């Protein structure tokens, strides 16, 4: 056992100073603990002096470090030098800003110990522009205290995490157990400290509003005490524990992703704990726990019964909360802490998660640099999003790009370069992680975001062009996924394929699609320029190919460069079974009602005002019927107005940012997909999704549908555009004759299988990327081909190769 490692422990919490800090020293490490001399008030800070700690540091170093404020500020260079020259490793506790300052100063191994906080750590790091600093950091480990506390963190952050290591409640609680009173007071303990702090102030005012009962006692240190007789304020530790011990129960009013210790201490002291839904404490517990309040009213009822001495309820709760109490039991925590922390301190080596060099982000050390490259510009913010930390693509462009990338990687040996803005590099890294890890995809990250200085962004765009010009010998093709978002691609001399799935200003000349008619005109000019400078144009339907010459974007003599590639079924790759968060969102929006569904952006061609009229008419027959939409109603003001005119606000369940698993569930359970659009550039992906997920389809008879469905188009409930009677009749038919409708649709789906298969898409793409060699069948996996003598590390480790 090593006893000669010197650790810098950056923490100040009084609980940790009495638990993990002495434990580290007991493990044989010399641990330096700084004084908390920050002007930032924290009711949890341990203010006991640290000068008495044992140390082998030179006296002047020890004094200098003790007199330095390490919290909430940049660490000065001279102090950084001392850290680097005198410490083997650093453990940072709790605060992400302390960590960032420390990472800037200290070059050695760092352990970041987290205990749950009301916000997402990964969001915080990304918002501060520090994603790259963390993923490129070697010998950096995050040690969370519970798996549930990082479930909603972003994947790149979770990859930095070790196995969870719980933390213990202080030893004095265990010593207090014998003081259990036989007749608890008719009081319910609550802990809300520091009410002058905005976070706790909000908690207190919500509590005050929802829980006016006099039997509550509010504990916790206060700087200013409001005129509320229920506030006890700060007590000595013994007094506080005695109060918990003597209370009938403890009520936990927080509902965020954090679990403070007083309820756990109450559990250890044998008191029942009542809590509201959604908090980390609630997620620790089984949902059937009798202490789990479903609502505020339910919580008041439970607390009232316990305050009146309902011994049976108290016993049931205490029994059920045992599993949570054990998480913090020192007898169980200490061995886990010791095992993991010792391993990390003795053997801290861990390669960085990613490499960022000259704006290129990759994870694989040895890529096949000889492979042909396909470049896809995606440097626009807002294409990718996160929901509960997971990366999602909600818009058409990134979903199609994903399908193109997947196909290229499966059917060719090409590698792909995707550009991204500075702000979207983390989400795109997570979204394409599998391909990045396989060495097939790299990201080119802009130095700026698409918001901010136009000049700076424009210059970054030209630097990207410049980069592509420098590697043009390797570039097989540039796939431009939008007709006006990436005008600088016109400067790239490599072979270009422009994706042009539709051109709505031609189909609906009276509508304005961008901010103004002038902007639409400029967009068209850019589209025309890129069309002319591109070697090929990829579209998804013969219908669009047929009208493109009339738009002015493509001349008739160049129509042969337009290639039709029907889209495969998108989204299934990420459509996992409905997760807990998705289920809650859907339940909250639907409240058990039957619904029609149209997942789409609110654009003029979608005719959502007409959709509102259909819904209003249907509700005369089906009063409980509502509609699920995923858009912003106000983006076409007329739509919001129509909804208001028909008093439909309560009949609309808005689910913007629905994830693939939610989408799947919504399709599978809807009364009908109600596609009111009057113009689509290709076979509507919603129809394809509804066919695959078994949702009855009521839709406008669009040429892009009949072109593909042909003589089986009548398997769908197709209506003339904006025919109110036909649409409502169609939905009624879908509701009353669901099984018959679905049977007909299944027949259509089977006949479409060859048309929209992955193989068919690959064949079409081979025409759009003629410089690439497409295999007849897909790779069994999309990993980089091995060189002679090379083995895959992971597979080799488990004996596969």
Partner 1 sequence: MDASRRSAGVRRRRLEAQRQVVEAYDAILRRWPDPTGLNHFSRLAMDGTIDRATLMSDLYTSDEARARISHEAVPADPKERMIALSGIFAAAEDGRLEAIYTDEKDAARIGHIANEILSEDLGPTLVAYFDELGTLSK
Chain residues 437-456 in contact with partner 1, contact rule CB under 8 A: 453-456
Q: Nearest approach, Cβ of 352 to partner 1 (angstroms)?
A: 24
Report d(CA 498, CA 85) in Å as an integer.
56
3-state secondary structure of 780: coil
CB closer to partner 1, 533 vs 772: 533
Residue of the chain from 296, 525, 713, 778 that contacts partner 1 (CB under 8 A): 525
Report the C-alpha gap between 450 and 456 in whole angstroms: 9
Q: Which range in 185-193, 418-426, 459-467, 604-612 contacts partner 1 by CB under 8 A?
A: 459-467
Q: Pick between residue 514 and residue 714 the one whose CB is nearest to partner 1.
A: 514
Range in contact with partner 1 (rule: CB under 8 A) among 2-10, 296-304, 378-386, 524-532: 524-532
Nearest approach, Cβ of 393 to partner 1 (angstroms)? 24
Q: Number of helices and strands (H, E) in the chain?
A: 34, 27
147 near partner 1 (CB under 8 A): no
- d(CA 787, CA 696) in angstroms, rounded, equals 50
CB of 472 to partner 1, least distance (A): 7
Shortest distance (Å) from residue 507 CB to partner 1? 22
* CB closer to partner 1 out of 337 and 467: 467
Contact call for residue 461 and partner 1 (CB under 8 A):
yes
DSSP per position, 520-541? HHHHHHHHHHHHHH-SEEEES-
Pick between residue 436 and residue 553 the one whose CB is nearest to partner 1.
553
Q: Which residues contact 523 (CB under 8 A, 6 or more apart)?
A: 483, 484, 514
By CB under 8 A, residue 235 contacts partner 1: no
258 binds partner 1 (CB under 8 A): no
Nearer to partner 1 (CB atom), residue 243 or residue 491: 491
Least CB distance to partner 1 at residue 593 (A): 45
List, as one string, the DSSP characters of 178-216.
GG--SS--S-EEEE---TTSHHHHHHHHHHHHH---TTE
> Beta strand 384-387 with 390-393: parallel, antiparallel or unpaired?
antiparallel
Nearer to partner 1, 133 or 529 (CB): 529
> Considering beta carbons, is residue 202 or 532 the nearer one to partner 1?
532
Q: What is the distance between the alpha carbons of residues 440 and 107, in angstroms, rounded to a whole number?
A: 31
Pairing of strands 595-598, 672-675: parallel
Stretch that binds partner 1, among 44-52, 518-526, 704-712, 747-755 (CB under 8 A): 518-526
* CB of 321 closer than 8 Å to CB of 111: no
DSSP annotation string for 363-397: --SS--TTS-EEEE----TTSEEEETTEEEE-SHH
User: C-beta of 476: minimal distance to partner 1 in Å?
Assistant: 14
Q: Provide the 8-state DSSP code for 172.
A: H
Nearer to partner 1, 528 or 701 (CB): 528
Sheet with 595-598: list strands edge to edge: 652-654, 626-629, 595-598, 672-675, 697-700, 717-719
Q: Which CB, 258 or 525, lies closer to partner 1? A: 525
In the complex, least distance from residue 485 CB atom to partner 1, rounded to whole angstroms: 9
- Work out how close the CB of 150 gets to partner 1 at its nearest, in angstroms, rounded to a whole number: 39
Nearer to partner 1 (CB atom), residue 327 or residue 482: 482
1 binds partner 1 (CB under 8 A): no
Contact with partner 1 (CB under 8 A): which of 532, 634, 750, 791?
532
Least separation in angstroms between CB 581 and partner 1: 39
Q: For Cα atoms 338, 341, 345, give the angle at the middle one, nearest 5 degrees.
A: 130
Read off the tokens for 774: 């497409």
CB 154 → partner 1: shortest distance, Å? 31
Q: Whose CA is closest to 173, among 59, 262, 90?
A: 262
Closest CA to 395 of 408, 406, 381: 381
Which stretch in 31-39, 98-106, 525-533, 609-617 sits in contact with partner 1 by CB under 8 A? 525-533
Are 607 and 636 spatial neighbours (Cβ–Cβ below 8 Å)?
A: no
Q: Nearer Cβ to partner 1, position 321 or 495?
A: 495
CB of 471 to partner 1, least distance (A): 8
The residue among 558 and 729 lying less far from partner 1, judged by its C-beta, is: 558
Nearest CB to partner 1, comparing residues 468 and 708: 468
Residue 170 sits at the vertex; the CA angle it makes with 163 and 305, to the nearest 5 degrees, is: 100
| Residue 263 in the binding site for partner 1 (CB under 8 A) | no
Nearer to partner 1, 473 or 650 (CB): 473
**Minimum gap (Å) between residue 436 Cβ and partner 1:** 23
- Residue 773: DSSP 8-state: P
C-beta closer to partner 1: residue 60 or 470: 470
Q: Which residue has the tokens 């219908």?
A: 543
Closest CA to 76 of 105, 97, 40, 35: 105
Q: Distance between CA atoms of 526 and 548, rounded to whole angstroms?
A: 15
Q: Which residues are CB-neighbours of 178 under 8 A, at least 6 positions away? A: none
CA 77 to chain centre: 36
Q: Per rule CB under 8 A, is residue 516 in the interface with partner 1?
A: no
Which CB atom, from 268 or from 476, has the smaller least distance to partner 1? Answer: 476
Q: Which of 62, 513 has the CB closer to partner 1? A: 513
Binding flag, residue 360, partner 1 (CB under 8 A): no
Q: Provide the greatest CA pair distance for the chain.
A: 94
Dist CA 49 CA 55 (whole Å): 15
Q: Which of 345, 261, 492, 282 is nearest to 31 (CA)?
A: 345
Contact flag: residue 515 with partner 1 (CB under 8 A):
no
Q: Kindly state the smallest distance separating residue 381's Cβ from partner 1, in Å.
A: 16
End-to-end C-alpha distance for the chain, whole angstroms: 36
Which residues within the stretch 462-501 sit at the binding site for partner 1 (CB under 8 A)?
462-463, 465-470, 472, 484, 487-488, 490-493
Of 119, 95, 123, the closest CA to residue 423 belongs to 123
Q: Which of residues 573-592 bind partner 1 (CB under 8 A)?
A: none
Show the CA angle centred on residue 219, arms to residues 213 and 224, nearest 5°.
Answer: 100
Please report how close the Cβ of residue 497 comes to partner 1 at its closest, in angstroms: 14
List the structure tokens of 549: 């010459």
Which is nearer to partner 1, 479 or 774 (by Cβ)?
479
From the CB of 473, what's the least distance to partner 1, in Å?
A: 10
Q: Where are the alpha helices (DSSP H) in 347-432?
A: 396-411, 425-431
Q: Which of 80, 533, 654, 767: binder of partner 1 (CB under 8 A)?
A: 533
Q: Judging by DSSP bridges, how do beta strands 360-362 and 441-445 pair with one another?
A: antiparallel
The residue ranges of DSSP E strands in 667-801, in sequence order, are: 672-675, 697-700, 717-719
Q: Name the segment binding partner 1 (CB under 8 A); options: 214-222, 258-266, 521-529, 607-615.
A: 521-529
Give the binding-site size for partner 1 (rule: CB under 8 A): 32
Compute the least distance from the CB of residue 456 to partner 1, in Å: 8
Cα–Cα distance, 473 to 558 (Å, whole number) = 26
> Residue 555 interacts with partner 1 (CB under 8 A)?
yes
Q: Which of 483, 502, 554, 500 is nearest to 680 (CA)?
A: 502
By CB under 8 A, residue 522 contacts partner 1: yes
Q: Does residue 239 interact with partner 1 by CB under 8 A?
A: no
Nearest approach, Cβ of residue 405 and partner 1 (Å): 25
- The CB-of-464 to partner 1 minimum distance in angstroms stands at 9
Site residues for partner 1 per CB under 8 A? 453-456, 458-459, 461-463, 465-470, 472, 484, 487-488, 490-493, 522-523, 525-526, 528-529, 532-533, 555
């Amino acid at each position: 056992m090593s006893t000669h490692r010197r650790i810098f422990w950056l923490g100040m919490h009084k609980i940790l100073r009495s638990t993990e800090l002495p434990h580290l020293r007991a493990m044989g490490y010399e641990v330096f603990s700084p004084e908390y001399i920050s002007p930032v008030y924290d009711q949890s800070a341990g203010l006991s002096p640290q000068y008495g700690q044992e140390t082998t540091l030179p006296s002047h170093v020890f004094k200098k470090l003790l007199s330095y404020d390490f919290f909430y500020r940049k660490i000065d260079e001279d102090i950084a030098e001392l850290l680097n020259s005198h410490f083997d490793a650093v453990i940072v506790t709790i605060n992400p800003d302390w960590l960032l300052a420390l990472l800037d100063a200290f070059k050695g191994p760092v352990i970041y110990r987290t205990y749950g906080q009301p916000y997402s750590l990964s969001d915080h790091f990304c918002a501060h522009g520090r994603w790259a600093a963390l993923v490129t950091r070697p010998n950096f480990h995050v040690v969370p205290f519970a798996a549930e506390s990082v479930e909603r963190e972003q994947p790149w952050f979770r990859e930095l995490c070790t196995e969870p290591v719980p933390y213990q409640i202080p030893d004095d609680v265990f010593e207090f157990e014998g003081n259990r009173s036989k007749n608890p007071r008719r009081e319910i303990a609550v802990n809300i400290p520091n009410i002058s702090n905005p976070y706790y102030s909000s908690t207190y005012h919500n509590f005050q509003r929802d829980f006016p009962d006099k039997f509550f006692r509010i504990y916790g240190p206060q700087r200013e005490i409001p005129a509320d007789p229920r506030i006890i304020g700060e007590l000595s530790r013994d007094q506080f524990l005695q109060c918990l011990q003597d209370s009938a129960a403890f009520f936990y009013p927080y509902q965020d992703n954090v679990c403070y210790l007083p309820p756990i201490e109450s559990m250890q002291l044998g008191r029942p704990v009542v809590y509201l839904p959604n908090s980390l404490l609630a997620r620790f517990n089984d949902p059937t726990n009798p202490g789990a309040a479903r609502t505020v009213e339910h919580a008041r009822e439970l607390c009232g019964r316990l305050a009146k001495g309902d011994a049976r309820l108290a016993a049931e709760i205490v029994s059920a909360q045992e599993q949570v109490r054990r998480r913090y039991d020192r007898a169980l925590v200490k061995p886990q802490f010791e095992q993991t922390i010792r391993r990390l301190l003795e053997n801290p080596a861990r390669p960085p998660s990613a490499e960022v060099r000259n704006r290129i982000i990759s994870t694989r050390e040895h890529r096949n640099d000889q492979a042909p490259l396909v470049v896809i510009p995606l440097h626009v913010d807002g294409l990718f999003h996160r929901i509960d930390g997971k990366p999602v693509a909600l818009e058409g462009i990134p979903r199609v790009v994903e399908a193109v990338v997947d196909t290229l990687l499966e059917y060719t040996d090409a590698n792909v370069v995707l550009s991204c803005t500075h702000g979207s590099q983390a989400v795109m890294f997570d979204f394409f992680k599998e391909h990045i890890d396989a060495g097939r995809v790299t990201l080119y990250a802009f130095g700026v975001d698409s918001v901010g200085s136009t000049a700076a962004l424009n210059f970054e765009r030209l630097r990207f062009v410049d980069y592509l010009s420098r590697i043009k010998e390797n570039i097989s093709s540039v796939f431009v996924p939008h007709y006006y978002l990436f005008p600088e691609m016109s400067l790239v001399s490599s072979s270009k394929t422009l994706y042009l799935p539709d051109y709505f200003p031609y189909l609906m000349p009276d509508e304005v699609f961008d901010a103004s008619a002038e902007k639409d005109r400029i967009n068209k000019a850019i589209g025309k320029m890129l069309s002319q400078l591109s070697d090929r144009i990829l579209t998804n339907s013969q219908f669009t190919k047929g009208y493109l010459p009339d738009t002015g974007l493509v001349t008739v003599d160049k129509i042969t460069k337009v290639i039709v590639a029907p889209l495969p079924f998108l989204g299934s790759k990420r459509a996992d079974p409905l997760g807990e968060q998705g289920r809650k969102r859907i339940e909250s929006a639907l409240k058990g009602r039957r619904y029609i569904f149209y997942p789409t952006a609110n654009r003029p061609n979608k005719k959502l005002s007409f959709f509102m009229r259909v819904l209003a008419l249907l509700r005369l027959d089906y009063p409980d019927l509502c509609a699920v939409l995923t858009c912003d109603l106000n983006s076409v003001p007329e739509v919001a107005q129509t909804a208001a005119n028909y008093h439909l606000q309560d009949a609309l369940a808005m689910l913007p940012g629905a994830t693939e698993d939610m989408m799947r569930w919504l399709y599978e359970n809807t009364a009908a997909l109600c596609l009111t659009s009057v113009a689509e550039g290709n076979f509507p992906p919603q129809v394809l999704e509804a066919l695959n997920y078994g949702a009855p389809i009521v839709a406008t008879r669009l040429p892009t549908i009949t072109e593909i469905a042909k003589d089986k188009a009548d398997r769908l409930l197709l209506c003339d555009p904006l025919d109110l009677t036909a649409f409502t009749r169609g939905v009624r038919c879908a509701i009353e004759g669901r099984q018959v409708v679905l049977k007909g649709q299944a027949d259509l789906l089977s006949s479409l299988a060859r048309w929209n298969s992955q193989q068919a898409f690959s064949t079409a793409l081979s025409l759009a990327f003629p410089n690439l060699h497409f295999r007849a069948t897909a790779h069994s996996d999309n990993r980089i081909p091995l060189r002679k003598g090379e083995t895959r590390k992971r597979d080799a480790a488990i004996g596969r190769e």
